[in-house]
Each structure stands twice: as C-alpha cells, then as structure tokens.
Amino acid sequence: MGFWIRPYSTQRAIVRASNNLTSGIVGLANVGKSTFFQAITKSTLGNPANYPFATIDPEEAKVLVPSEHLDHLQKLYGSRKKIPATLTVYDIAGLTRNASRGEGLGNKFLGDIRLVDGIYSVVRGFRDDSITHIEGSVDPIRDLSVVQDELVLKDLEWLEAGREKLTRKLGRTAKSSLDHKQMQDELALLAQLEEFLYEGRRIAHFKQNWTKEEVDTLGQYNFLTAKPTLVLLNSSPRDYLLQQNEYLDEVSKWIDQYSPGDEVLIFSAEYETRYNEFASTSDWEGLQRYCSELAGGAAIKAGALPSALPSIILKMRQLLRLISFYTCGPEESRQWTIQQGTRAPQAAGVIHSDLEKTFINASVIKYDDLRDASHPLDESALRRLGKIKRCGKDYVVEDGDVVHFRAAAGKN
C-alpha cells in the first residue's frame, strides 16, 4: 500500500548540525496528538483524554527506527542481537487560537516547540460527536491556518526582538569591520523574512537553496516556521485503510498555497492503537478480520497489514537529513544515526570519541553488495571482487554503509 500523497520536496531543511535531532507532535488541543504519541512510542506515557489541555508538560520517548537493512544484516552476520537506532519524539501541549498572545498554554506550547528540530503537525480529519473539538467543529483547513498563524506571529515577535538587538550592536561596531558587513547582511535577511512571514508563510519555504551562512544565521533564532514539517491528517480507521478522506483535496490545496513543499500523510491514531494491540499478541488473523470489516470486506493479505508508523518515522528522519550506517559482527549488528554529509572520522566519533580522535581508516561495504548475500557471509569473496573498500578521513559516509573503523586507540 502506498502512503505518500505528494512527492518529496528537494528543499534543503534548516536543521542544526547534530546526530541527535528530535521531533515534536504539534496541533490544536484534543486532535489525537497523545493517542498518536502512545501509538508511535508503544507506550502509555501520553494522556489521551477527551478534553483540551490533557497534556501540559511535554512527554518524551525514544522511537525505534524501522530498518529492513538491520534485519538482513543480523541474519547475514549471524549476530546474537541487533540494536536499532532511535528517534526522540515529544508530545507537546495543544495549541489554541491566540496562543502567540499567551492564551491557553500558548507561551509554554510555543516555547516547547522551539526545543525540537522537526514537527509532526497533526490535524483532525474525522467526525465523531463523542470527541470534542476546541473550535466547535471539524475543519482541517481552519485548524491548519490557526496553527500556522500562531507560529508565524511568534516568529515575527522573535524576529523583531532579534532585529532590535542586532541594530543596537551594529551601532557600536566599526563600519569598516567584517562584523559590520555580516550584521548588515543579517538585517537584510531578517527584513526579507519579515515580509514573507507577513504573507502568512513559513520561513522553511522562503527559498530552496540556503547558503551555509544563512543556515547558521537562522540557527541563532531557532524560528518555529523554519523547522521541517510533516502534516498528518488524522482520519478514521476506515479512511486510512482505503487511503481516502473527505478533506484531503482541500488540505493538499491549502498546503500548495500556504506551505508549498510540505507533505500530507493520511493516518489514523485510532487504527494504530488497535494495530499495536493485535501485534503485541501476534494476532494477525484478528487484525485481518478487523481490517476487512473496516474496508467493507476487501481481502487484506495477512503478514502485510499496513501500519503508517514506519513511514512516519522514516519520513521525519529524511526531513531532518538523517541517515544510517551499520557496524556488524557475531555479537551484534547495530544501526547508527548521522547527518548527511558526515565524514568517516566524525561517524566513528558517534560510536566513541576515541575513534574520531585516533581514526586511521575505515573498511566500507555498500549495502547493495550485501542485499543478495546469505549467511555465513564470505568477506574474502567480497574482498576479491573489490566490494570492501578502504576509505580515509575524507570519505563521506552514505546511507546503508556497513563500516569497520580502525583507530590507533579505543575499541573497533
């Protein structure tokens, strides 16, 4: 089953340079954020109650990153255990209209969003009279507009404060200095962003090709609308299984106009909760019956029953420009997280700082060269075929690489 509604944008994300980036679940109060949080984290840390502000302090949990590569590598190397990578997810208090003015839990909510790197924007797309809506009715377009307007207004507030501070500093700086020129450039960028924000648009979509200097500048402000965002249309279980929703066309048009480059994904927090219940007992026949009833009797192949959560997790990593490399052996096969563009010594440093400091070289096997291999792995044959390459400090690690680091000290 295909889940993506709109093609992936090539726009560069504005994210900080870190291998430990986080995501936050954002949306109006009482739209299913905590139910989604419980489902994606397979926990009961959230507070899915049928009233606004059930969540006040942000809940935090680490989500396992699904990886078919890791499953295959564990079998290939005969590893005793496998250790997947994780993604930290926060369930943040619900937003209300006028949050930027401090209403509801506005200031706290917006401050909590500022701490995360990527946003899951959850919007309600199902009708259920038993579940209250803070705005009184189900209207995803209105809800998306409210959330975006509040984020934009807060960014304008922070932008103005930053500009005033920068202007005062500029007045104390010699006009002939490099700092003076850099501050003038920063003020010019802020002026352009301010105009863009006044149009109700997100900074993330101001341009596609950001310079390193611009990314560094924006990193100092940590603007809310600069964060990469995935829109999740929370639907009924039936709508999710059939991949249809009465609001989908309107939501897609709204995104095209006001947040071009973002994507929308149909999911169902209710369905994912039930899916986890069936999966916890391996009751795939029960899940198949449940899905067939929801889908009007359509047959769904057991063992291939759909969950949107793997796609949701992997998509956020993609938006944050995170990739994986692997270390494998008889004891464990392990997935490590790095940002795109990371060189071999810095990748080694994710395992242990000593490996980066005393890095010598790395032996790299591309996953594609292992895709059809079987246990026991014949590394000597791979070496004869030139499939194991020795790489130096300038090598940029790629997604899926299986790496063995060599260092003058520390553990391999």
Please state the rounded mean pLDDT for residues 273-300: 86
Residues 346 and 246 in one domain: no
Q: Are residues 373 and 248 in the same domain?
A: no
153 occurs within a structural domain: yes
In whole angstroms, what is the distance from residue 129 CA to residue 177 CA? 64
Out of 318, 351, 383, a domain closes at 318
| 3 state SS for the chain | CCCECCCCCCCCCCCCCCCCCEEEEECECCCCHHHHHHHHHCCCCCCCCCCCCCCCCCEEEEEECCCHHHHHHHHHHCCCEEECCEEEEEECCCECCCHHHCCCCHHHHHHHHHCCCEEEEEEECCCCCCCCCCCCCCCHHHHHHHHHHHHHHHHHHHHHHHHHHHHHHHHCCCCCCHHHHHHHHHHHHHHHHHHHHHCCCCHHHCCCCCCHHHHHHHHHHCCHHHCCEEEEEECCHHHHHHCCCCCHHHHHHHHHHHCECEEEEEECHHHHHHHHHHHHCCCHHHHHHHHHHHCCCCCCCCCCCCCCHHHHHHHHHHHCCEEEEEEECCCEEEEEEEECCCEHHHHHHHHCHHHHHCEEEEEEECHHHCCCCCCCCCHHHHHHCCCEEEECCCCECCCCCEEEEEECCCCC
Q: Check whether residue 140 and residue 179 sit in a common domain.
A: yes
- Residue 91 β-bridge partners: 25, 59
How far apart are the C-alpha atoms of 374 and 363, rounded to whole Å? Answer: 20
- The reported pLDDT for the residue numbered 57 is 56
> What's the number of CA atoms in the CB half-sphere (13 Å) around residue 84?
15
* pLDDT for the residue 97: 78
- The pLDDT score that the predictor gives to residue 51 is 35
How would residue 1 be classed by pLDDT, with cut points 50, 70 and 90? very low
Q: Answer yes or no: do 82 and 127 share one domain.
A: yes
> Which residues, at least 6 apart from 364, have a Cβ–Cβ distance to it below 8 Å?
388, 389, 390, 391, 395, 397, 401, 402, 403
Last residue of a domain, one of 249, 283, 318: 318
**Residue 2 predicted with pLDDT over 80:** no
- Domain annotation covers residue 116: yes
The pLDDT score that the predictor gives to residue 179 is 85
Domain count within the chain:
2
The most confident of 99-108, 206-215, 360-369, by mean pLDDT: 360-369
In a domain, 124, yes or no: yes
pLDDT in tens, 262-271: 999 999 999 9
CATH number at residue 364: 3.10.20.30
- Strand 402-407 and strand 229-234: the pairing is unpaired
Please indicate, yes or no, if residue 294 is contained in any of the structural domains. Answer: yes
- Specify if 177 maps to a domain: yes
Mean pLDDT of the chain: 87
Report the pLDDT value the prediction gives residue 299, as an integer from 0 to 100.
54
Position with higher pLDDT, 113 vs 387: 387
Q: Are residue 245 and residue 388 in the same domain, yes or no? A: no
**What would the pLDDT profile of 76-108 be if each residue is shown by its tens digit?**
999 999 999 999 999 988 787 776 666 555 467
Higher pLDDT, 169 or 97: 169
Q: Would you state the pLDDT for residue 56? A: 44
Percent of the chain at pLDDT exceeding 90: 67
What is the per-residue pLDDT across 392-405, written as a single tens digit (0 to 9) for each? Answer: 999 999 999 999 99
d(CA 224, CA 202): 8
Same domain, 308 and 224: yes
**What's the half-sphere exposure (Cβ side, CA atoms, 13 Å) at 212?**
1
Cβ within 8 Å of residue 245, ≥6 positions away: 125, 233, 235, 239, 266
Residue 408: how many CA atoms within 13 Å on its side-chain side? Answer: 5
The pTM (predicted TM-score) of the whole model is 0.89
264 and 385 housed in the same domain: no
- Beta-carbon count within 10 A of 107 CB: 14
**Residue 177: band (very low, low, confident or very high) from pLDDT cuts 50, 70, 90:** confident
Does residue 269 sit in the same domain as residue 358?
no
In a domain, 12, yes or no: no
Average pLDDT on 62-66 reads 94
22 close to 116: Cβ distance less than 8 angstroms: yes
Lowest mean pLDDT among 60-64, 248-252, 310-314: 60-64
Answer yes or no: are the C-beta atoms of 77 and 377 closer than 8 Å: yes
* Confidence (pLDDT) at 6: 36
User: Quick one: tokens of 36?
Assistant: 């989604």
Residues 243 and 391 in one domain: no
Query: Residues 351, 231: one domain?
Result: no
Looking at residue 362, its pLDDT comes to: 98
The pLDDT tens digits for 191-210 are 999 999 999 999 999 998 88
332 assigned to some structural domain = no
Query: How confident is the model over 330-353, as a mean pLDDT?
Result: 96
Q: Identify the pLDDT of residue 5.
A: 37
DSSP 217-228: HHHHHT-GGGS-
Domain that holds residue 363: 341-407
Do 228 and 373 sit in the same domain of this protein? no
Q: Are residues 270 and 385 in the same domain?
A: no
